[in-house]
Amino acid sequence: MNLFLIAGEPSGDRLGAALMSGLAALSPGVKFDGIGGPLMQAEGLDSLFPMEELSVMGLVEVLPRYFALKRRIAQAAAAVLESGAQALVTIDSPDFCLRVAAIVKAARPGFPVIHYVAPSVWAWRPGRAAKMARVVDHVLALLPFEPPYMTAAGMTCDFVGHPVVAEPLATEVETQMMRGHGPLILALPGSRKGEVARLAPVLGQVVARIKAVHPDARVALPTVRGVAGLVQDLTADWAIAPQIIQDAATKRAAFAAADVAIAASGTVSLELAANDCPMVIAYDMNPVTLWLMRRAALIDTVTLVNLVSETRTVPEFIGPDCRAEKIAPAVLQLLRSGDAAQREAMRLTMQRLGQGGPPPGQRAAQSVLDFLAGRGVIGQPAR
């Protein structure tokens, strides 16, 4: 069996790597082509071009790179059709992936397309599910309440669990080595260049305010390869020089040892929940993009812990509220007294995302194989 996989950002790279590992275990001899990052490459993928070229978010942010992205869409679709793959698996990054899928479907209407990560139609633009159904046959959902939205639009869908529940945690020894005498603050400005450019200066101002109250505070800043240089530049003048972390083991220890986190919106809130780390969410974007998203929003929170737990215990500072004078008091309050309600919401979130069950990568792989068997593409998979 040969599959073509496309991931466009670090979170998709993690999903893709776990899926590839699960497929290799359940279907020995499976071959992969496509686009992915270092984790997927470690599982045997030779990426068509660097995944980082696709890590762009927001309408206004995409515009300057429109023609370059359009060329990459055409290149990826041609590669799918020439690869001999039996199915296309697109992973998140819908603005890129679904355009590739549309070209592939136009050329070969019966070609199976699987999309990993259901669009958040429960949050905004509910019509996306129906549009996606024109080019996608099967969906792998990360959140337990998503399958009904997908099946209503005409696709098949399985909840496969969120990968955060299977990610390794730091050992007690690793955690203790990361702890020190003062409070440890996690600064998490995001994994995209645009996010980092907007959030790093604000987080630097928050750090200065924390130092005024806690002179012995330390800051850890886990980041990813594509933005590490930018992070280094933008944090050079922070009041507390952050420990910039790129390796996975040290990142795990920092998440486990931290007293509080200031994080960009996104999957990172679930990583923090897995480590029982209290958090505040801060996020900013181009004002036009923010205005458009707020007009279309169907929910009153952007934080996954709040959504999955059906609480609103994680404070958010979005857009105009993403200012140090608002964020710092919330961080200092968590350092003073913690938040029992937030910790309970994090525990419930992990339970609902599949903690304690089969690894999500394995569940996703089984779903892919079952779907392809149902379409007659492959034989019935072993269980």
Cα R_g (the chain), whole angstroms: 21
CA atoms within 13 A on the CB side of 345: 23
pLDDT of 120 higher than 90: no
Q: Which domains does the chain carry?
A: 2-161+357-374 (3.40.50.2000), 172-352 (3.40.50.2000)
pTM score, two decimals?
0.79
* CA–CA distance, 265 with 34 (Å, rounded to integer): 28
24 Cβ contact partners less than 8 Å away, ≥ 6 residues apart:
30, 43, 44
Query: For a pLDDT cut of 70, what percent of the chain falls above it?
Result: 95
Rounded CA gap, 145 and 261, in Å? 27
Q: Which amino acid is at 309?
A: S
In the predicted model, is pLDDT for residue 177 greater than 90? yes
Q: How far apart are CA 175 and CA 252, in angstroms?
A: 8
pLDDT tens digits, one per residue of 81-100: 999 999 999 999 998 999 99
**Of 374, 376, 372, 356, nearest in space to 27 by CA:** 372
259-315: pLDDT as tens digits: 999 999 888 999 999 999 999 999 987 777 777 667 667 778 889 999 999 999 999
Better-predicted residue by pLDDT, 117 or 66: 117
Whole-number Å distance between alpha carbons of 276 and 256: 8
What is the average pLDDT value for the chain, to the nearest integer? 92
- Both structure tokens of 200: 């790093």
